[in-house]
Structure formats: structure tokens, C-alpha cells
Amino acid sequence: MSEHATETRSANAVQRCIIAECNSVYGIRERIYVCPRCGGPLEIQCRVESCGDANVLRKQWAERAGSNEPRDRSGVWRYRELLPFDFDVPIVSLFEGNTPLYDAPRSAEYCGLQDLQLKHLGCNPTGSFKDAGMTTAVTHASLLGARTVVCASTGNTAASLAAYAARAGMQCAIVVPQGQVTAAKLAQSMDYGAAVLEIDGSFDDAMRLVQDLADDASIYLANSINPFRIEGQKTVAFELLQQCGWKLTEHIVLPGGNMGNSSALAKGFDELLQLRLIDRLPKLHVIQAEGSAPMAHMFAEMQKNLVTQDGSVLPDIVPVVDPKTLATAIKIGSPISWKKSLRGVLRSGGRVLAVSEQEIADAKAIIGRDGIGCEPASATTIAGIRRMIYSGHIDRADSVVALLTGHVLKDPDYVNGYHNGTLSLGSSPPIKGAFTNRPERVAAKKSAILESIERRNQTRGVPRAKN
């Protein structure tokens, strides 16, 4: 298949309301974020069958990975046949994607799995998975001639948007809950030149505010309610399958906050299925933190009432009014994309569950022992897998990939708190870490250092939980 055949991808794409009774269709140049008719979520629909032969695509994508052309070097734009943009549009890119897939033997043993792989989306240019979606959203904003891009954020969306806006020479304003975003994430947004607007309120308040702001024609909203964000993020499914030699993994596990990423992954796998690049869907499991888990509560209710079949008739989600978790990235009580996400999870036969602060903290530390740091929200995955092994929803011999969504340096205060035994949520007693590794004060003498090394040698190997 020649590139010429698909260079007008935009002609094959529309924005469609996902609410079955509405199903309204809009052009991709319309600056709308929800269905103007019914308020439902929008999704980009590309004519997948017009993308070309699956084997040719597979070969072309593999060849591009070795090319120096900027569009090929991006792990998002490399898959441009499945994106709703013409091939020749000027893209706003930081060479996002291309994130590693690691074996993680210690984390696997901790979970009770034979093997486990971690795809580290925190190795993106701004240290989180958001970059894969921001390249497409900011490219779209620039095509529409937007002057200012805005988002609400718990920190990572903001850092990513600020960087891509800077690349595009656009004004950027980020709206964040004051005192609830890590210093590292805020520092990034400041450095990239965004207007950092801290509100006295929660992420959910910030989200409502920016949706209001987006009525203004000069403003482009870059939260994951925007379906062009999802288009970029869905390419993680393509890159992952390519890295697995197109051998399907049985379970994909990822954290859930505002539910954009799980919506995106579900869409990506769905398109691979339509293209017959895979013959079934992997089970998509979404993990939340116990104190911020509206979708996990809903899933548990649905299981009790046995209405999980296809998710066509969903009850309404009950927001968590005052969400709590030390994994601040996912401290969200009213996820904006829950409908898309839940639809994807149910279709795949996956689950949504919540894990405790203790489980997240220990899981994060064990991921570190594999030499792979991540931020707290990402570690919900390992805690969730461990639970699902215990409950029998994942078998020890199953193939499992966990998506790590943010880099360890996004939240060093959390790491220090964990290892020094001072990490606590509100007035709760500090978490007693199972894998703490406190710095040690030693005399400035060779013998003292050797003694410490020797002591540690005695206890080397796979770390065992201390509690």
C-alpha cells in the first residue's frame, strides 16, 4: 500500500456521539468536546477498513521504527494510518512514545505471576503517558488556529500540555487544585512557560471550570474529554503489540483516574481487532486508589446486580465527593470519561478494582527493586494484579502487561516518606513499608562502609515483605 492511498485520512474520519440513542456525527474540524445534541462523550471514528492490508501496515510500521523522518520517529505518528489527520499536516511532536517494555521478575514474584512485563509510559518526554495524547491534541488545536490551550490537571496533563504548547508557540493555561500537585510536576509547567493557575478546590472543580471556559472560541480544551487526545493515546496499544511481536497479551492492567487512558487503550485494541491484527481483545483491568474509586464501586455494584454483560445500559456513576489518596495523580472523584472506559472494560471481560494506600506504596517499592521507578498512581497496577491472582481472576501462568504511567521523579517526596517511615494520608498513622530502605549514617571510614555493604550482602536476593 502506498502512502498516497491514505494521505487524506481526515476525509475518512468523523466525531461521533457514543450514546447509542443519539449517535450524532460531526466533522473533525468542529471544536466541540461533548455532543452538542445530547451532551454525551464524543469519539473519533476512522474508517479502519480503508487503512490498507494488515500485513502491509505491520511491515510499514516496523520499517518506520528505523527511519529518521520526524513523523516516523514519533511512536504516535508512526501509526498515522489510524489517526484522523492528513499525512502532510504540520505536527507538534517531541518524539513521544517509543517507551520500553521491561521484564520485571521481582514484581512478578511479588504478585504471584510467572512472568510480568511493564510498559513504562513514564519514559515519555515529559515523564508521563500524557504526551502520546498531547501531540495529537495540540496538533489539532494548531490546525484549528486556537490561541490558548487549557486543561484541568492533577499535574501530569498540565506538564505535558505546557510542553507541547511551548513547542507550538501557543499560550497555555493550566488549572490545578492548590496544594495537591507534586512540586516536580508544577516545576515542569512553570519551566515550559504555562500560566499556572491554582484554585482553591479539587481537581473535579477545576475540570468543571475548564469545561465552562471551553465555550470561549479562542480556547482549546486539552483534557481527555477531547477525543483527539484519545487518538494519540490509543497508539500505545499498537506500539505494545508491535513490541510483543503481535502476540496478544491476555491481561492489560492500568491505573484509572479521569478514565481517559483506559478509554484510549480500549479504542486502540478495538481498532486492531477490526484490522484483524489481533483475533480477540485482551482483558483490560483498571485499578483505582481505595479513597478515590467511583468506578470500582460502580463495577462492584454491577457485579452484584449482574448487569455486566455488554454495558449497553449503564447506571449512573456516583461521584466520590471528597476523594483521598496519596497517589495524587488519580485523586479524582468524578471521572469525566467513565462511560467510554467502562464500555471498553466490559467488552474486554476485564475488571475495575480498588487497592489500599499500603498496597500501592509497597507495590511501588517492589517495582523500584526491578530497577524501574514509577510514580505512585502507576503502582496501583502491581497491587491490582496481586489481588486478581489471589481472587483467581488472573492465573499465575497468564501473560500480563502493566502500564506504568508516570516516572519515579514525578513525586520524590512520596518516595522519601515511604523509605523514612513518614508517609501518611491525612491523620492516619504512617504507612509501615514492607520494603523500606532508609539512608544510613556511616562514619567517613572505609571499614564502616565495607561493614555496611557486608551486612546488606547477608540479606540480598529478592526482598521479602517485612510485614
User: E strands, 163-240, where?
Assistant: 171-177, 195-199, 219-221
User: Interface with ligand F0G includes 329 (CB under 6 A)?
Assistant: yes
Binding mask 266-295 for ligand F0G (x = CB under 6 A): ------------------------------
**In the bound complex, what is the minimum distance in angstroms from residue 224's beta carbon to ligand F0G?**
5
What the block records as the C-alpha cell of 455 is: 551486612
User: Interface with ligand F0G includes 128 (CB under 6 A)?
Assistant: yes
User: Interface with ligand F0G includes 172 (CB under 6 A)?
Assistant: no
Binding mask 56-75 for ligand F0G (x = CB under 6 A): --------------------
Q: Any idea what DSSP says for residue 40?
A: P
User: Interface with ligand F0G includes 333 (CB under 6 A)?
Assistant: no
What the block records as the C-alpha cell of 125 is: 518526554
User: Interface with ligand F0G includes 296 (CB under 6 A)?
Assistant: no
Q: Which stretch binds ligand F0G (CB under 6 A): 77-85, 101-109, 254-262, 356-364?
A: 254-262
**In the bound complex, what is the minimum distance in angstroms from residue 124's beta carbon to ligand F0G?**
11
Nearer to ligand F0G by Cβ, of 202 and 262: the residue is: 262
**In the bound complex, what is the minimum distance in angstroms from residue 112's beta carbon to ligand F0G?**
24
Residues 378-397 that bind ligand F0G (CB under 6 A): 378
Contacts of 329 (CB under 8 A, 6+ apart): 154, 155, 156, 255, 257, 375, 376, 377, 405, 406, 410
Q: Which stretch binds ligand F0G (CB under 6 A): 107-115, 255-263, 417-425, 442-450?
A: 255-263
User: Interface with ligand F0G includes 231 (CB under 6 A)?
Assistant: no
| Contact indicator for 74, 97 with CB cutoff of 8 Å | yes
User: Interface with ligand F0G includes 259 (CB under 6 A)?
Assistant: yes
Q: Could you give the CA distance from residue 264 to residue 283 in angstroms, rounded to a whole number?
A: 14
Nearer to ligand F0G by Cβ, of 51 and 266: the residue is: 266
Nearer to ligand F0G by Cβ, of 106 and 340: the residue is: 340
User: Interface with ligand F0G includes 325 (CB under 6 A)?
Assistant: no
Residues 129-158 that bind ligand F0G (CB under 6 A): 153-157
Q: Could you give the CA distance from residue 328 to residue 292 in angstroms, rounded to a whole number?
A: 10
> Would you tell me how many other CB atoms lie within 10 Å of the CB of residue 247?
9
User: Interface with ligand F0G includes 196 (CB under 6 A)?
Assistant: no
User: Interface with ligand F0G includes 258 (CB under 6 A)?
Assistant: yes
Nearer to ligand F0G by Cβ, of 117 and 128: the residue is: 128
| Contact indicator for 184, 409 with CB cutoff of 8 Å | yes
User: Interface with ligand F0G includes 406 (CB under 6 A)?
Assistant: yes
Contacts of 453 (CB under 8 A, 6+ apart): none
Tell me which residue of 132, 188, 203, 191 sits closest to 156, measured CA to CA.
Answer: 188
User: Interface with ligand F0G includes 240 (CB under 6 A)?
Assistant: no
Contacts of 205 (CB under 8 A, 6+ apart): 177, 199
> Would you tell me how many other CB atoms lie within 10 Å of the CB of residue 62?
11
Nearer to ligand F0G by Cβ, of 117 and 288: the residue is: 288
Nearer to ligand F0G by Cβ, of 57 and 158: the residue is: 158
The DSSP code sequence of 182-226 is -HHHHHHHHHTT-EEEEESS-HHHHHHHHHHHTTSTTEEE-STTS
DSSP three-state, residue 195: strand
User: Interface with ligand F0G includes 124 (CB under 6 A)?
Assistant: no
User: Interface with ligand F0G includes 188 (CB under 6 A)?
Assistant: no
Q: Which stretch binds ligand F0G (CB under 6 A): 2-10, 78-86, 372-380, 428-436?
A: 372-380
| Contact indicator for 359, 388 with CB cutoff of 8 Å | no
Among 97, 227, 255, 333, binds ligand F0G (CB under 6 A): 255
| Contact indicator for 113, 394 with CB cutoff of 8 Å | yes
Q: Any idea what DSSP says for residue 429?
A: P
**In the bound complex, what is the minimum distance in angstroms from residue 153's beta carbon to ligand F0G?**
3
Question: Grid coordinates 508512526 are at which residue?
Answer: 78
Kindly state the helix (H) or strand (E) to which residue 289 belongs, with its residue range: strand 283-289
> Would you tell me how many other CB atoms lie within 10 Å of the CB of residue 52?
17
| Residues that bind ligand F0G in the complex, under the rule CB under 6 A | 128, 153-157, 224, 255-262, 329-330, 375, 377-378, 405-406
